[in-house]
Structure 1
Amino acid sequence: MKKVLTIAGSDSCGGAGIQADLKAMSAQGVYGMSVITAITAQNTKGVFAVQEIDLDIIKKQIEVLYEDIDIDAVKIGMLSSSDIIKVVYETLKDVNAKNIVIDPVMVSKSGYYLLKEEAIEALKEFLKIGTLVTPNIPEAEILANMKIENEEDMILAAKKIKTLGAKNVLMKGGHREDNCTDILLTDKDEVIKFLGERFETKNTHGTGCTLSSTIASYIGKGYSVEESVRLGKEYITQAIKNSFSIGEGVGPVGHFIDLYKKAGVDFE
């Protein structure tokens, strides 16, 4: 079994962050492990508080895992401060981490800033360690310092982000109103489009975490970046299609929909 690590924040609601990552990894048949960078207090209605983990503990979590286990891929999620970004960057370099997928988490769906403004430049520097970076449109607008309104803008933004050092850039189109096509700019500067299907649901909590973790899982299993993105897109599409409500706000996607059905769960 392949081993995949997530380095991210904890979501007490279970729909995003570390919890979504581990669910997505398990659904792809890999063994998921976690390094927690922050603890959030949140529910389906929003994020209400964040407590960052001590830097020494973050560093030690990474070190002891790599001392013992051959890790096949890494997914990076919430790194809320420049200090956390720096320690994760330096430690991953020290342990010769491979196959790093970076989801540049900045703002929660409820509008809570998960990345401090002073850390944006540090995050840009961090991207050079990435095999793949997976920004949504609001994140890409910050990283590329431009407005994105159409596919041409998405491609231009991807090219700008690629100059920061990431080998491949996946521009996620879910925030667009006209369509939800994702665009991959490869390490060979090829532009590959992945057509999307939009569903009428409010329950999309953790979609970015789930997609990036799925892609990291497939890269860890030996698939190419392009094929990993394709399979990740297929999985997240079905997970959104089978999302469900658990509270008054934005519910989670269906990470284990086949198992839920097998167990006789009725979401009606």
Structure 2
Amino acid sequence: MNTKGRILLIGRSDCLGEKGVQAGIWTAGVHGLAASTIVMNMTARDEGLNFEEIELSGTFIVRQAETILQKQNIDVVKVGRLSSEEQIEATARILEDSRLNCPVVISPAVFRSNDSQALGVRALAHWKRRLPHLATMIVATEREADALGGFHAEGREELPHVAETLATLGSESVLLSALLPGQARGVDIFLDASGQLHEREFPLIREGEYGLDTPNLSTALACQLALGCNLMQAAGLARDFVAEGQGWTSELPAFAEVQGG
């Protein structure tokens, strides 16, 4: 089968195939990319949000990476949920490998599907020390930004500041997705490497943060980078992809420069 490139997905395995690396493989395939995976955790859950998880060791995680990098050329990396300092350190070692000369998209994925927090205080601190400076882009929700260090907005006008503060962790750029209170809409705040801010509203078909669909958004964004798009183009096309998947058929507006940003 001819493909347009290869994405490396780092994250958890979901037995239902709806989230984690399985969902990423589907998104990659839709974009015409082959996918390789490094599994961090094996998870079992049901619709009642009962949840069990088996965490894989850092040694085995690095072994998976070594197998992939010996045989395959990677065009982009997408990092999803990690659950321990050991996993974070293993992921940092993988991203520091000189054979990975490609964009890296990191989604903090701090919360599990049952809303419990996947990373404790020490692990969150280690995440901030080891991963953001290795990212081409961090894709996060406002709630995740708050968990990463109290980057909280009291209103929409403060969201650009949250994106700027999140960027101080070390990533080249940031895409912050947030709900607009009292509206069936969300907004993406894009901060580029030069420090310029852009924003773009979009409809919410599903209620709450699940409507933001940040895991799928970050994977679709990574796929667009592998296909040759620049960061803003990738962010826009990724949101188009998510909106279309949620049943929105009207054309979304383009990113607009944040005045005073």
TM-score of the pair, normalised by structure 1: 0.84
Q: 1:98-138: per-residue Cα shift (whole Å, max 9, x none)?
A: 20000001112421222233210111121110000011111
Choose the corresponding residue for 1:167, options 167, 172, 175: 172
| Deviation larger for 119-128 or 106-115 | 106-115
Work out whether residues 15 and 44 of structure 2, in 8 Å CA contact, stay in contact via their aligned partners in 1.
Answer: yes
State the secondary structure of the residue aligned to 2:203.
coil
Distance, in Å, in 2 between the alignment partners of 1:35 and 1:50 is 16
Work out whether residues 84 and 119 of structure 2, in 8 Å CA contact, stay in contact via their aligned partners in 1.
Answer: yes
- Aligned AA (1:29): G
Partner of 2:119: 115
The answer to whether residue 156 in structure 2 is matched with residue 151 in structure 1 is: yes
Partner of 1:186: 192
Q: 1:34-72: per-residue Cα shift (whole Å, max 9, x none)?
A: 110011111233251111112111001112211211100
Distance, in Å, in 1 between the alignment partners of 2:209 and 2:143 is 19
Identity of paired residues, percent? 22
Work out whether residues 7 and 34 of structure 1, in 8 Å CA contact, stay in contact via their aligned partners in 2.
Answer: yes
- Aligned AA (1:195): E
Q: How does 1:122-133 map to 2 (within 5 A)?
A: 122-125=126-129, 126-133=131-138
Partner of 1:102: 106
Q: 1:156-187: per-residue Cα shift (whole Å, max 9, x none)?
A: 11111111110010001147443301100110
Work out whether residues 40 and 47 of structure 1, in 8 Å CA contact, stay in contact via their aligned partners in 2.
Answer: no
Distance, in Å, in 1 between the alignment partners of 2:91 and 2:196 is 30
Tell me: higher relative CO, structure 1 or 2? Use CA pairs within 8 A at least 6 residues apart: 1
Choose the corresponding residue for 1:52, options 52, 55, 61: 55
Q: CA deviation at 1:85?
A: 0.4
Choose the corresponding residue for 1:216, options 222, 226, 229: 222
Partner of 2:247: 241
Partner of 1:85: 88
| Deviation larger for 131-140 or 196-205 | 196-205
TM-score of the pair, normalised by structure 2: 0.86
**Structure 1 unaligned residues grouped into runs of 5+:** 243-268
Distance, in Å, in 1 between the alignment partners of 2:149 and 2:95 is 25
Q: 1:83-103: per-residue Cα shift (whole Å, max 9, x none)?
A: 110111012202442200000
Distance, in Å, in 2 between the alignment partners of 1:108 and 1:160 is 24
Q: CA deviation at 1:200?
A: 4.8
Work out whether residues 4 and 217 of structure 1, in 8 Å CA contact, stay in contact via their aligned partners in 2.
Answer: yes
Distance, in Å, in 1 between the alignment partners of 2:162 and 2:209 is 28
| Deviation larger for 61-70 or 210-219 | 61-70
Work out whether residues 47 and 108 of structure 1, in 8 Å CA contact, stay in contact via their aligned partners in 2.
Answer: no
- Aligned AA (2:88): I
Work out whether residues 179 and 209 of structure 2, in 8 Å CA contact, stay in contact via their aligned partners in 1.
Answer: no
- Aligned AA (2:155): N
Work out whether residues 11 and 21 of structure 2, in 8 Å CA contact, stay in contact via their aligned partners in 1.
Answer: yes
Closer/same/farther in 2, CA of residues 227 and 19 from structure 1, 3 Å limit: same
Q: CA RMSD in A?
A: 2.0
Closer/same/farther in 2, CA of residues 48 and 132 from structure 1, 3 Å limit: same
